[in-house]
Chain A
Amino acid sequence: MTDKTTSSNKSFLNDAGNRALIFQVVLLALVVFVGYYLFSNLQANLADQGISTGFGFLNQPAGFPVLIHLIEYTEADTYGRAFIVALINTVVISLMGIVLATVIGVVMGLARLSNNWLVARLATVYVETLRNIPLLLQMFFWYFAVLATLPHPKNSIIFADFFLNKRGIYSPNPIFQDGFGIVIAGFILSIIASIALIVWAKKRQTRTGLWFPAYWSSLGVIVVITFLALVVSGFPIEFDLPQKSRFNVTGGMVLPPEFVAVLVALSTYTGAFIAEIVRAGILSVNWGQTEAARSLGLKDSLTQRLIVLPQALRVIIPPLTSQFLNLAKNSSLGAAIAYPELVAVVMGTTLNQTGQAIENIGLCMLVYGTLSLTISMFMNWYNKKMSLMER
């Protein structure tokens, strides 16, 4: 009798499936218990310290200024609006950073492969220097050591209609008049036309084998149509030029030093990493591919564009995606030099004023999570599109 029970017990525990089940139940119980324990502590603490909960604060007036705002914002606006302003700042700097970093990265990556010895060495020095110095230090360098040492507004460095001083970079601000809609419509139309042209050229080439310079001609189409639209509507654009008054510079468009510092630091730093990715990607394409293309009689430029780059891109895109994600996340370092992005506004000022740590930090994490997810979804789509060329 006793023998039977022990043996059945043994076999129950010896079964891999049962053990996995037990382990997982224990794990789940542990996670739930820890979660519950932390949550109950949290509730007790919040009640003790009289901190209110919920997102109601988003509708209350914020009462603090946000230095850089692309949409209307005053101190009387709500925390919710301040959050939107900060979100826009984060998204703008991330997207601009991604574009600039990609350009820098591609140029530097190609420069490292250049058969000009000096260029290749200089690019190597660039990559190895920037990659190995913390981003925050580089941001501080641009902000405190470079931009803060620029002259006062009254001694601005002047370059054509551009003014450079401690308060930022002043440039002419385009003001669009009525009728600019025609230009925009013309521009959109020309883009649609050029896409149609490229599609048609590709189809014709697969059908007849005849080649048509689609990219150059579509560029021409865009320039010509946009210019025509400008002429037709009578150049409905004016520039608000920055003016130098006695102690200050007024008018024009201002790029504040915080913005410039974050953008420069982010794009040069990430550019160094992208350069390595581009270089590795191009090197990963077998040299035989280039030789084969040459023996087919392709020009060097076509060899690169049709044979090497498509294959290199497959290797480049996955790590490039993670660099883009890093850049978006690293834009949070702007908080350290008072660029009003998400962390500075929400986890800094809003958190200090409302004391609602959970909601604010949660909100930030949610936004960064969404941003990361969006970027990686887009890049996965692009990756899939590129890898369709595989057999």
Chain B
Amino acid sequence: MAIEFKPLPSLPPPVNSVGAVAWIRQNLLSSPLNIFLTLFSFYVLYLLIPPVVEWGILTATFDGASKAACTGGGACWAFIGVYFDQFMYGLYPSEETWRINLALILLVILIGTFAVKTVNKLYLSIGIIVVYPVIAYFLFAGGVFGLEVVETSLWGGLFLTTLLGVVGIVASFPLGVLLALGRRSNMPIAKSVCIVFIETIRAVPLITILFMASVMIPLFLPEGMNFNKLLRVLIGITLFSAAYMAEVIRGGLQAIPKGQYEAADAMGLTYWQSMVLVILPQALKLVIPGIVNTFIGLFKDTTLVYIVGMFDLLGRIQAATHDASWLGTTIEGYAFAGFIYWAACFGMSRYSMRIERKLETGHKRN
């Protein structure tokens, strides 16, 4: 009778090669240097987290109408509550702020309709790019349909920040496309005009452009003609971001294989036809992440308008923290502003990474 071969069940793996223990050994304690780094990191965390939690949450005051209410010794978040409207809308009259909210809701609805399959996307785009700004302008500025006029000097807070960022990026886009095409064209004069413009703007800081917009533009205009400061600053921001946008778009144009240009020519398309129908749709798709990054940079840079005397989100916070009845709330103010900027920029950069992955369709040059 044959003996059946029965192997013993295999032993479990050693304790320190699987599970949490192994993970800790591999990732935290793999060498003396790593042990030291781990201990050091824990020390850094110990220095940072407990005081921040204690200050920001445990001993913080969340409600109250004045500095006197903040007795906990920690953060005084009541400050943010009291000034919240100013941080959001600047000095916009509080009974009129529904106009800003309405414009925002309208924009969200319009963009949301892109998801609806039956809507004609061309008309919708025209609606957003051409019609919406007009509606929004009259909503913000007033003066029609019995809406009270609100001076642009009262616009401020996050509203102004968003306005500057969005208008800057949208207005600079067509200009950026033209500059990028000009820089790659065969016409020497057009090419050099574009190069000089782009490189000059990129060589100087945004502040100088803003100063130029607020101090120098009035000197260049004929007697009696003047725009308001917001418009001048918007022009400055638009020209500035157009130069950066042009470089981003040029990158996309360069990534399109030469065969596409030649094929468009061989089809007998004119220059503009081949650009609009063949090249740009492919190039712009490639540079969407770059455009988002430009927008993130611009959104952060809008804080500089504070230096030329406009009160965006940071400006309003700066003004509020210098309010004599709320002295000592500087860190709370900056933490709030920092959180808003961080959330917006981080969100956008994650979004651009997602698009980057989604659009990876083998169009890259290699």
Q: A residues near B, CB below 8 A?
A: 20, 23-24, 27-28, 31, 38, 41-42, 44-46, 48, 114-119, 122, 128-129, 131-137, 140-141, 144-145, 148-149, 329-330, 332-333, 335-336, 343, 347, 351, 357-358, 361, 364-365, 368-369, 372-373
* Residues of B with C-beta under 8 A to A145: 330-331, 334
* Residues of B with C-beta under 8 A to A20: 186-187
The docked-state distance in angstroms from the alpha carbon of A131 to that of B350 is 13
* Residues of B with C-beta under 8 A to A347: 207-208, 211
* Residues of B with C-beta under 8 A to A122: 41, 44-45
Q: Are B208 and A364 in contact (CB under 8 A)?
A: yes
User: Whole-angstrom distance from the CB of A373 to the nearest CB of chain B?
Assistant: 7
**Interface flags, B206-221, vs A, CB<8A=1, else 0:** 1110011001101111
* Residues of B with C-beta under 8 A to A116: 27-28, 30, 34, 37-38, 41
User: Helix, strand, loop or mixed for chain B's interface?
Assistant: helix
* Residues of A with C-beta under 8 A to B331: 141, 145
B127 CB within 8 Å of chain A: no
The docked-state distance in angstroms from the alpha carbon of A47 to that of B318 is 38
B146 CB within 8 Å of chain A: no
The docked-state distance in angstroms from the alpha carbon of A373 to that of B345 is 30
The docked-state distance in angstroms from the alpha carbon of A114 to that of B34 is 9
Smallest CB gap from B300: residue in A: A134
The docked-state distance in angstroms from the alpha carbon of A215 to that of B268 is 63
Of the stretches B6-14, B50-58, B250-258, B335-343, the one at the interface is: B335-343
Can you give 9 contacting A-B residue pairs, CB < 8 Å? A41-B222, A114-B37, A119-B38, A128-B346, A137-B341, A333-B205, A361-B208, A368-B204, A372-B203
Interface size of B as a range: 35 or more
* Residues of A with C-beta under 8 A to B193: 27-28, 31
Q: Are A361 and B306 in contact (CB under 8 A)?
A: no
Q: Are B187 and A136 in contact (CB under 8 A)?
A: no
With beta carbons under 8 angstroms apart, the residue of B188, B205, B314, B330 that contacts A368 is B205
With beta carbons under 8 angstroms apart, the residue of B223, B341, B349 that contacts A133 is B341
The docked-state distance in angstroms from the alpha carbon of A135 to that of B205 is 13
User: Whole-angstrom distance from the CB of B140 to the nearest CB of chain A?
Assistant: 23
Within 8 A of A (CB), among B294-311: 296, 300-301, 303-304, 306-307
User: Whole-angstrom distance from the CB of A72 to the nearest CB of chain B?
Assistant: 28
User: Whole-angstrom distance from the CB of A367 to the nearest CB of chain B?
Assistant: 9
* Residues of A with C-beta under 8 A to B204: 329, 364-365, 368-369, 372
Q: Are B220 and A140 in contact (CB under 8 A)?
A: no
* Residues of A with C-beta under 8 A to B101: none
With beta carbons under 8 angstroms apart, the residue of A27, A45, A117, A332 that contacts B190 is A27
Q: Are A132 and B187 in contact (CB under 8 A)?
A: no
B241 CB within 8 Å of chain A: no
* Residues of A with C-beta under 8 A to B208: 332, 343, 347, 361, 364-365, 368
B238 CB within 8 Å of chain A: no
* Residues of A with C-beta under 8 A to B37: 114, 116, 118-119
* Residues of A with C-beta under 8 A to B304: 136, 333
* Residues of B with C-beta under 8 A to A45: 218-221, 223
> Which 6 A-B pairs have CB atoms at the shortest separation, nearest pair first?
A132-B345, A117-B27, A329-B205, A134-B300, A24-B189, A332-B205
The docked-state distance in angstroms from the alpha carbon of A132 to that of B347 is 10
Q: Are A24 and B187 in contact (CB under 8 A)?
A: yes
Q: Are A115 and B334 in contact (CB under 8 A)?
A: no
The docked-state distance in angstroms from the alpha carbon of A347 to that of B211 is 8
Q: Are A333 and B190 in contact (CB under 8 A)?
A: no
Given pairs A119-B37, A132-B342, A134-B341, 17 additional interface contacts (CB within 8 A):
A23-B187, A24-B190, A44-B223, A46-B219, A118-B28, A134-B300, A136-B304, A137-B303, A137-B337, A145-B331, A149-B330, A332-B208, A336-B306, A343-B211, A358-B219, A368-B205, A373-B203
B114 CB within 8 Å of chain A: no
Q: Are B220 and A134 in contact (CB under 8 A)?
A: no
User: Whole-angstrom distance from the CB of A331 to the nearest CB of chain B?
Assistant: 8
User: Whole-angstrom distance from the CB of A319 to the nearest CB of chain B?
Assistant: 12
* Residues of B with C-beta under 8 A to A149: 330
The docked-state distance in angstroms from the alpha carbon of A296 to that of B345 is 45
User: Whole-angstrom distance from the CB of A83 to the nearest CB of chain B?
Assistant: 15
Within 8 A of A (CB), among B1-59: 27-28, 30, 34, 37-38, 41-42, 44-45
Q: B residues near A, CB below 8 A?
A: 27-28, 30, 34, 37-38, 41-42, 44-45, 186-190, 193, 200, 202-208, 211-212, 215-216, 218-223, 296, 300-301, 303-304, 306-307, 314, 318, 321, 330-331, 334, 337-338, 341-342, 345-346, 349
The docked-state distance in angstroms from the alpha carbon of A332 to that of B330 is 23
* Residues of B with C-beta under 8 A to A358: 216, 219
With beta carbons under 8 angstroms apart, the residue of B38, B218, B346, B349 that contacts A118 is B38
Max count, chain B CB within 10 A of own CB: residue among A118, A122, A333, A358: A118
With beta carbons under 8 angstroms apart, the residue of A115, A140, A361, A364 that contacts B318 is A140
* Residues of A with C-beta under 8 A to B186: 20
- Given A132-B349, A336-B306, A368 and B190 touching (CB < 8 A)? no
The docked-state distance in angstroms from the alpha carbon of A134 to that of B305 is 12
User: Whole-angstrom distance from the CB of A70 to the nearest CB of chain B?
Assistant: 22
The docked-state distance in angstroms from the alpha carbon of A381 to that of B290 is 27
Q: Are B27 and A41 in contact (CB under 8 A)?
A: no
With beta carbons under 8 angstroms apart, the residue of A46, A133, A365 that contacts B342 is A133
Q: Are B41 and A23 in contact (CB under 8 A)?
A: no
Q: Are A140 and B314 in contact (CB under 8 A)?
A: yes
Q: Are A369 and B203 in contact (CB under 8 A)?
A: yes
Q: Are A330 and B307 in contact (CB under 8 A)?
A: no
Q: Are A27 and B189 in contact (CB under 8 A)?
A: yes
* Residues of B with C-beta under 8 A to A31: 193
* Residues of A with C-beta under 8 A to B206: 329
Q: Are A118 and B42 in contact (CB under 8 A)?
A: yes
User: Whole-angstrom distance from the CB of B342 to the nearest CB of chain A?
Assistant: 5
Smallest CB gap from A31: residue in B: B193
* Residues of A with C-beta under 8 A to B223: 41, 44-45, 48
Smallest CB gap from B161: residue in A: A134
Smallest CB gap from B339: residue in A: A133
* Residues of B with C-beta under 8 A to A373: 203
User: Whole-angstrom distance from the CB of A300 to the nearest CB of chain B?
Assistant: 11
The docked-state distance in angstroms from the alpha carbon of A148 to that of B321 is 13
* Residues of A with C-beta under 8 A to B219: 41-42, 45-46, 357-358
With beta carbons under 8 angstroms apart, the residue of A44, A46, A336 that contacts B307 is A336
The docked-state distance in angstroms from the alpha carbon of A347 to that of B209 is 11
Q: Are A38 and B220 in contact (CB under 8 A)?
A: yes
Q: Are B205 and A133 in contact (CB under 8 A)?
A: no
The docked-state distance in angstroms from the alpha carbon of A129 to that of B27 is 24
Q: Are A23 and B334 in contact (CB under 8 A)?
A: no
The docked-state distance in angstroms from the alpha carbon of A46 to that of B205 is 26
* Residues of A with C-beta under 8 A to B346: 128, 132
The docked-state distance in angstroms from the alpha carbon of A330 to that of B44 is 29
* Residues of A with C-beta under 8 A to B296: 132
